[in-house]
Structure 1
Amino acid sequence: MKLSSVLSTVNQIEKSKFINFLDRICTEASSHDKQVAKQFKNIDGEIKNAPSGEVTQLFRLAQPLFQREVKSQLALSGAQAALLVNILSRDGNCVARLSWVEHLYEKEWKQIDAQAKSLKSLFEAAEQTEVYDEPKRLGIYYACLYEALHNDERSNREGKITDEERGILNVLAHKLDVTADNRVAIEHLIDPIPKTGVSDCLNQLREIGIAFVSKKHQTVYVPDEIVALLHRIQSKELADKHLLRILRTFSDAELSNILKSHDKRIRGVSRDEKIDTVYKMGLSVSQILSDDMHGEQSGVTEKKERLKTLIEDLQLALDKLGTTLEERCSLIIGALNSSTEHEFNILSATGYKSLFSTLSQHLPQLPKMLKEEFELEPNQDIDVEKLRALAITPYDILFMLSNEQVKSLKSDMGITRRGDPRQVILESFADATDKLVENYEALARRDLAALKQKNIEIAEADIGIKFEEVTKAIFEELGLTVDEDLRRDINTAKDKADILLSLSEDDIIIGEAKTSKKGDFAKYSTTSRQVKAYVTRCEGAGKRVAQVLIVAPSFSNDFVESAEMDTEVNISLLEAAGLKKILEAYKSRRNPKFSAKLFTKGGLLKADLIAKNI
């Protein structure tokens, strides 16, 4: 979830620690940073009373200072905080119930403890030999880490590892080829990580603005922006899902090359085990791409050609390929780090839901696979809204599957088009949405006969939902922001808004999509009660409702008059044929100019006039 969505979800008390931490940083920064000072002045120095949009803007400006302060505080917080941060910054854990976070912590602690005990016996055996092998290297790192932690005690000070010492240890670990999992286990041997106290440690993380804890929902939230910040602090080049995406495109031989480079066993090891081992080693992605994956005899030109093929395998749209090996590696990493928004935009909200539904039909185990891949609760229901909140894109789902599974899916779905199976599957769902957009008016009128003539099979009970989804898709094609995170947050079992369009961090349009089989839509009193309830909930979440927009096949005269005379809320009306006409005009222009403000005029909108002004 984005920071703005988290701020809208939690209450004032639950976001107070983040606000206080940001306030202190901005107060200090205002004396020497003009941009921060200007933004701080705009809210009169009162962050507590500022809307979430302005708080988010202030955070973006102060982010380098925020990151530096968080890094400093984490260095003082001990191994337990480091372990908890590692869990919360992993894919799928940025929104999780407290009980599930505690379960993940306990599971991780047991793994580290078991590995630490295994290493201890390895060190004892290594002392009996002079061979310079992995046990010997790990023993050297253990001795240096022990000294760094305990040298303070000789001066009667509390034993801790300073930033300078940590930097030296990081270089040492790299030179001795000590993998990330072994580093954590060795540190646990010397300075055991507490097995309990997760709740107290979470409160520590709240104090430094990393985590938000909702007592009402018993849920921990770590905003996407904070996750990215934590990755930078951890020197993590890529999110785990993107590293796994890369590893799954490698051949068995390339995976073996990586393992051989670090003296790991390869005989009798399955492909899945190889991927899992490399993933847990915590290697630098740059090192994997530039060196480890390639054969010993591979030259620079051969390595660059292999990375060119990798770019195609990962379906990355790069403006340039880079002239050097290092530049090509950097471009791949940069493209994956900035890919989430692009990957969500590949399919409309409707297309993503259709994709997930179809994949689940052909792969009934898909929800279970997603839970295992992203460490989600076993009893949790998985839907597209949940996946969006966790920043899990359609690409993430398809790259989670093996090449064989994707090819089998393509065949089972009856897709005969040639090309990369993942890309072809995605394009087929984009095409399905286009077909519904073409027949948007028939959908609005619930005209099943007309839809069947166009080979569109929809159950009558599903037409309302499909019309809502296709309306969202049209808004997205017009370049508008359909805010599914906010919609999920403000919706209740009783009040469920169809569409929320974000105009800015704080301004929104509430959209309602209404079908009608009987002709003109005429239920004004019912509709007005609905939208007024949505307005109240949005305002309660700190949003300003600029307009309510109702889309229907057509409206009765009474409905139009009632909407124009309503003094409690601003309502605009738009006929389905008119919205489609606006989209067609938009797509026909070379450089279209469209603003959501064209929907805020009130009353029955003149689609012809809007189309001319695009």
Structure 2
Amino acid sequence: MKLENILDKLGSIEKNSFIKIIDNIITKNPKNGKEIDEILSASDKGLKSVDNQNISKIFALTADEFQEYIKCEFQEITSQLDILIDIIIRDGNCIMKQDWFSRLYDSEIKTLKTRIKGLNTNFEDDKSELSEVRKRDYKIYKSCLNTAYKNDIENNRDAKVTSDELSIILTLSKQLGLSQEEVKLINYSILPIVTIDIQEVIKGLKNIGVIFYSNKENTIYVADEMVRMLRKIRKKEIAEKFYRRTLKLLREPIINQIAREHNIDRKLSYAQKIEEIIKEGVSFTSLLLDDIYKNDSTLTEKKKTLNELCEKGLNISNLKGSTLDDKISSLIEHFENVERDEKVGISLDGYDKMLAELNLSLPKLNKQIKDQFQFQDEFVLKADFLLDYNMKPRDILDLIVKTDLTNFIKDNGIKQRGDYILNIIEHYKDVENLYFENFENVAYRNLNLLKENGIMVKESELGIKFEELTKVIFKGLGFNVDDAFRNNLNTKKDMIDILLNLGNNEVIIVECKTSKEKGYNKFSSVSRQLKSYQNLGLKNDLRIVKVLLVAPEFSDDFITDCEMDTEMNLSLITAATLSNISEAFKTSKFKEFPHVLFRDIVINEERILKALSK
């Protein structure tokens, strides 16, 4: 669940710890201080009086400082913060009742103690499957940690690992190629591990701002934005669902190779081994750098294998980067963008229909999903419920074995040739609604995200598609999008995109621009174009009430140039803002959008949404 939505559910006292931390960061001149001050300037009473949408924006602006603050909390190595954070960042654990969290915590401690015993046995057993090289790595790490922890006792001080010692230990674990789970097991074979009262656990996590706790609902909330941050701190580059999606493309001998390297039982089933690799916290980067290739693979062969994995398996074409590291970074960035994208891939109705029909064809699926994500609810195949946990249709379909997918496709008359999962998504999507859900992705010409969300479109068609969608949005706002009048006005040289006819010879000219680049910055060329359109209208005795430029975003220089222009009544509106205004208008009292609200240089979304809600 998004941070803003969680904040909307809570009272001021329940948000207090989180607000205090951000307030403290703001007092220390964060790098985005200027942008934060602009948000706060609208409020005389400081951060506490800022609305939840802007608190969410400020959190994003202080993300780097907030992350460093949490990292400092990790320096108290006996705090069990690694155990607790590993629980709350798992897919499905971002919303939990207190008693459910207590069960998960107790289970984690119990499992940890059992596995520590197993690890210690493997250290001593000559017949264990651990290779001598791996035993050596474990012993080196364990000896260094033991020294770091116990050397204080010799100096008559409390045993602890200092921040300097911890940084060295973390570097050592990375160089030895230890997974997070391996590190955790060795750590807690030396450090005392005790079960802490669950109320104290919740209080501690709430005080450092990583969770929210609703007293009324007795429920823990972890914001999607916080999960991503905590995952970075724990060096987990991608969400489990994307890791699973990638691992399922690998042949079993490769999975066995990874399992052998990280002390995972190779007698487990293929699916179980994949889950164990994910639980182990094996680095996704190291997996794609070394673990999935044959020992004698050349760099060229590794690049070819990775490209095929992305193009044929993950349907990601044109992976950026010339080096293997660059390609892996591009893949991680792609998964991050998919996770941040709020679009579902099919309409909400389509998602519900898909889940209902999956439940009929595969009656065991509900329990499988419930167990996989450790959900407390009994029936979980509901679109709204799953989306609160950021579980999209593709994430659910990824968990279904191929034989069950085959049966489901046959039962529901879905196309069988090609990729089963993409065929199912295609079958249930509502194309028109889907395009509107992806309006901003069309503006950014983001082919990969559009493809991920179930839209197959040529890049050459995106400009026209953006214009068509913008027309429909303005029609939905009650404007007269007068194509006939526009066509009569247009010349071979001057081709206005959209003309809104207000009557009485008054019009609004709308220009649509898509751009892959961040921050649309071509003011000189677009201003000449718009002035030419304006002159065309004036020659035809029209009053140009407003010129609107719709683009994915605008650079600071572009906005400044626009502010200095005295010849046009020009306003800038981002695709995201126009989309949000359109949604708010649907539930407003207005039959036609009051165009006088388009009066800023950069259209102020928050002000317009407030006006529409009155």
TM-score when normalising by structure 1: 0.69
Query: Which residue number in structure 2 is paired with residue 354 of structure 1?
Result: 353
* 8 Å CA contact 1:4, 1:56 repeated in 2: yes
Equivalent residues in 2 for 1:444-463 (5 A)? none
Comparing 595-604 with 195-204, greater Cα deviation is found at 595-604
* 8 Å CA contact 1:100, 1:377 repeated in 2: yes
Query: Which residue number in structure 1 is paired with residue 209 of structure 2?
Result: 209
1:247-285 deviation per Cα after TM superposition (whole angstroms, max 9, x unaligned): 11111122123234456564x443123323322332111
Structure-2 change in CA distance of 1:303 and 1:76 (3 Å): same
Q: Equivalents in 1 of 2:51, 2:400: separation in Å?
A: 41
Q: Equivalents in 2 of 1:124, 1:260: separation in Å?
A: 18
Q: Equivalents in 1 of 2:37, 2:438: separation in Å?
A: 38
Shift of residue 336, structure 1, vs aligned partner: 1.2
- Taking only the aligned residue pairs, the percentage that are identical comes to 28
**In the alignment, residue 374 of structure 2 is paired with which amino acid?**
E
Query: Which residue number in structure 1 is paired with residue 26 of structure 2?
Result: 26
* 8 Å CA contact 2:25, 2:65 repeated in 1: yes
1:580-605 deviation per Cα after TM superposition (whole angstroms, max 9, x unaligned): xxxxxxxxx99796666574885545
Structure-2 change in CA distance of 1:74 and 1:37 (3 Å): farther
Q: Equivalents in 1 of 2:338, 2:418: separation in Å?
A: 21
Q: Equivalents in 2 of 1:400, 1:147: separation in Å?
A: 44
Shift of residue 185, structure 1, vs aligned partner: 1.9
Query: Which residue number in structure 1 is paired with residue 278 of structure 2?
Result: 279
1:381-427 deviation per Cα after TM superposition (whole angstroms, max 9, x unaligned): 44111110100111101111223332332222222352211101100
* 8 Å CA contact 2:149, 2:160 repeated in 1: yes
Query: Which residue number in structure 2 is paired with residue 57 of structure 1?
Result: 57
Structure-2 change in CA distance of 1:353 and 1:248 (3 Å): same
Structure-2 change in CA distance of 1:10 and 1:382 (3 Å): farther
**In the alignment, residue 296 of structure 1 is paired with which amino acid?**
N
**In the alignment, residue 361 of structure 1 is paired with which amino acid?**
L
* 8 Å CA contact 1:350, 1:473 repeated in 2: no
Q: Equivalents in 2 of 1:304, 1:122: separation in Å?
A: 36
1:117-163 deviation per Cα after TM superposition (whole angstroms, max 9, x unaligned): 22233444579xxx944334323322211111111222333322223
Structure-2 change in CA distance of 1:192 and 1:293 (3 Å): same
Structure-2 change in CA distance of 1:263 and 1:68 (3 Å): closer
Structure 2 spans left out of the alignment, 5+ residues: 442-475, 479-511, 515-548, 551-577, 594-614
TM-score when normalising by structure 2: 0.69
Query: Which residue number in structure 2 is paired with residue 337 of structure 1?
Result: 336
Structure-2 change in CA distance of 1:201 and 1:269 (3 Å): closer
Task: Note the aligned Cα RMSD (angstroms).
Answer: 3.2
User: What secondary structure sits across from 2:242 in the alignment?
Assistant: helix
Q: Equivalents in 1 of 2:94, 2:73: separation in Å?
A: 20
Shift of residue 83, structure 1, vs aligned partner: 1.0
Comparing 405-414 with 230-239, greater Cα deviation is found at 405-414
User: What secondary structure sits across from 1:220 in the alignment?
Assistant: strand
1:294-341 deviation per Cα after TM superposition (whole angstroms, max 9, x unaligned): 112322222222212211344344554432222221211211122135
Query: Which residue number in structure 1 is paired with residue 295 of structure 2?
Result: 296
1:87-129 deviation per Cα after TM superposition (whole angstroms, max 9, x unaligned): 01111101111111110111111110001122233444579xx
Q: Equivalents in 2 of 1:332, 1:303: separation in Å?
A: 15
Q: Equivalents in 1 of 2:56, 2:114: separation in Å?
A: 42
* 8 Å CA contact 2:231, 2:237 repeated in 1: yes
Residue 424 of structure 1 pairs with residue 423 of structure 2: yes
1:183-213 deviation per Cα after TM superposition (whole angstroms, max 9, x unaligned): 2122222222221322202211111111100
Equivalent residues in 2 for 1:28-47 (5 A)? 28-29=28-29, 33-44=33-44, 46-47=46-47
Query: Which residue number in structure 2 is paired with residue 561 of structure 1?
Result: none
Q: Equivalents in 1 of 2:40, 2:206: separation in Å?
A: 22
Q: Equivalents in 1 of 2:404, 2:380: separation in Å?
A: 23
Q: Equivalents in 2 of 1:232, 1:477: separation in Å?
A: 27
**In the alignment, residue 280 of structure 1 is paired with which amino acid?**
K
Q: Equivalents in 2 of 1:409, 1:172: separation in Å?
A: 48
Residue 305 of structure 1 pairs with residue 293 of structure 2: no
Structure-2 change in CA distance of 1:605 and 1:175 (3 Å): closer
Query: Which residue number in structure 2 is paired with residue 395 of structure 1?
Result: 394
Q: Equivalents in 1 of 2:580, 2:211: separation in Å?
A: 34
Q: Equivalents in 2 of 1:88, 1:75: separation in Å?
A: 19
* 8 Å CA contact 1:106, 1:195 repeated in 2: yes
Equivalent residues in 2 for 1:48-447 (5 A)? 48-76=48-76, 78-125=78-125, 132-262=132-262, 266=266, 268-342=267-341, 344-377=343-376, 379=378, 381-430=380-429, 433-434=430-431
Shift of residue 216, structure 1, vs aligned partner: 0.7
* 8 Å CA contact 1:91, 1:241 repeated in 2: yes
* 8 Å CA contact 1:14, 1:214 repeated in 2: yes
Q: Equivalents in 2 of 1:57, 1:603: separation in Å?
A: 29
Q: Equivalents in 2 of 1:321, 1:597: separation in Å?
A: 34
Structure-2 change in CA distance of 1:475 and 1:284 (3 Å): closer
**In the alignment, residue 68 of structure 1 is paired with which amino acid?**
E
Structure-2 change in CA distance of 1:147 and 1:30 (3 Å): closer
Shift of residue 59, structure 1, vs aligned partner: 1.1
* 8 Å CA contact 1:211, 1:222 repeated in 2: yes
* 8 Å CA contact 1:286, 1:329 repeated in 2: yes
Structure-2 change in CA distance of 1:132 and 1:175 (3 Å): farther
**In the alignment, residue 73 of structure 2 is paired with which amino acid?**
Q
User: What secondary structure sits across from 2:96 in the alignment?
Assistant: strand
Q: Equivalents in 2 of 1:597, 1:198: separation in Å?
A: 43
1:52-111 deviation per Cα after TM superposition (whole angstroms, max 9, x unaligned): 112112111111111111111232373423211110111110111111111011111111
Q: Equivalents in 2 of 1:206, 1:264: separation in Å?
A: 34
1:536-574 deviation per Cα after TM superposition (whole angstroms, max 9, x unaligned): xxxxxxxxxxxxx999xxxxxxxxxxxxxxxxxxxxxxx
Comparing 225-234 with 164-173, greater Cα deviation is found at 164-173
